[in-house]
Amino acid sequence: MDLSSAIRSIPDFPKKGILFRDITTLLNNRNAFTKAIDSMAGMLRGNKIEYIVAAESRGFIFGGALAYKIKCGFVPVRKPGKLPSKTYRYTYSLEYGKDSLEIHRDAFPSSSRVLILDDLLATGGTALAMIKLAGKLKAKISAIAFLIELTELNGRERLKNYPVYSLIKY
């Protein structure tokens, strides 16, 4: 199964000139979703991963399923004010403006080996924010992984100091 065929493309969303890659059609296709998680686990084989760090909301979908598959912990990174304990915050630029993310200060022990995971690599801003947050906890970044990479936006270049994996490239 070609996973890209399970993803719907929507022109001019969320604004004119953007071709949005809608993963909901992959998620509701049990064979495609299973293949995506199995393929991600396969491409990351050999990386020592103790925790998956993923941002809300679509990152949670893949992060939770992949953490279960490879038997590691899952660490949610959320928008400000959504985590109940003490947090670190990082503000960053993304395709459509600025955003902030937070991580619990006790999300994992110092020197833990983590995978940064999200559904989409565009400019790399969200992944860099998660790297910065994990760095506040003195994590060792094992790898960074995405379901989709939009190659024309060159986000991989911003992540060049880390092993970067993506299943589908547009």
- How many distinct structural domains can be found in the chain? 1
- Whether 137 is covered by a domain: the verdict is yes
Rg (CA), the chain: 15
Residue that is written with structure tokens 């991580």 in the block: 103
| Average pLDDT by stretches of 10, the chain with 170 residues | 95 93 97 98 97 96 98 98 98 78 98 98 94 98 98 96 97
DSSP code at position 66: H
Q: How far apart are CA 159 and CA 139, in angstroms?
A: 16
- Whether 125 is covered by a domain: the verdict is yes
- Whether 41 is covered by a domain: the verdict is no
Q: How far apart are CA 71 and CA 76, in angstroms?
A: 16
Q: Which residues, listed in sequence order, are joined to residue 148 by a DSSP beta bridge?
A: 120, 168
Decide: 114 and 107 in contact? Cβ < 8 Å: no
- Whether 21 is covered by a domain: the verdict is no
Q: Which residues, listed in sequence order, are joined to residue 99 by a DSSP beta bridge?
A: 92
Q: Which domain holds residue 164?
A: 47-169
Q: What is the pLDDT of residue 30?
A: 97
- Whether 131 is covered by a domain: the verdict is yes
Domain CATH code at residue 98? 3.40.50.2020
- Whether 163 is covered by a domain: the verdict is yes
Q: What is the pLDDT of residue 145?
A: 98
- Pairing of the two strands 113-121 and 97-104: unpaired
- Whether 53 is covered by a domain: the verdict is yes
- Whether 87 is covered by a domain: the verdict is yes
Residue 22 CB coordination number (10 Å): 12
Q: What is the pLDDT of residue 96?
A: 66
Kindly list the catalytic residues.
58, 95
